[in-house]
Amino acid sequence: MTSPGTTTPLRHDRQLWLLSAIFLLLQALLLITWGAHYVPLGAFTPVVNFGIAIIKTLLVAIFFMQLRAESGLVRAAAGLGGLWLLILFTLLLADYLTR
C-alpha cells in the first residue's frame, strides 16, 4: 500500500490503466454474453452464459478486489466461499442430472 500523501501523476499511474483495461474487458464480455443470447446455441447456452459470468467474477475478484496482492490466508478464505458453492451445485446436479 502506498502511504497516504504520496502522489504520482495520474497519467503515469500503471494501476489506473490496468483497472481501466480490466473494465473494458468486462464490458466486452458483457457484449459477448448479450450477443450470444440471440444466437441459437441450444444446450451450450447456459455453458457460455455461466462460463463468461465465472470469467467476469475472476476478473473482478483478482483485479478490482485486489486478491492478486493478498496473502495466501486471505485468498484461501475467498476461495472457500467458491468451494462450498461448488460442492453444493455438484451434489445437486449429480442428483438431478442422473434421474
Binding interface with another protein (CB under 8 A): 1-8, 13, 15-16, 19-20, 23, 26-27, 30, 33-34, 36-37, 45-46, 49-50, 52-53, 56-57, 60-61, 63-66, 70-71, 73-74, 77-78, 80-82, 84-85, 88-89, 92-93, 96-97
- Spatial separation of the C-alpha atoms in residues 18 and 24, rounded to whole Å: 10
Return the H-helix or E-strand segment holding 52.
Answer: helix 44-59
CB of 6 to another protein, least distance (A): 6
- Spatial separation of the C-alpha atoms in residues 98 and 73, rounded to whole Å: 37
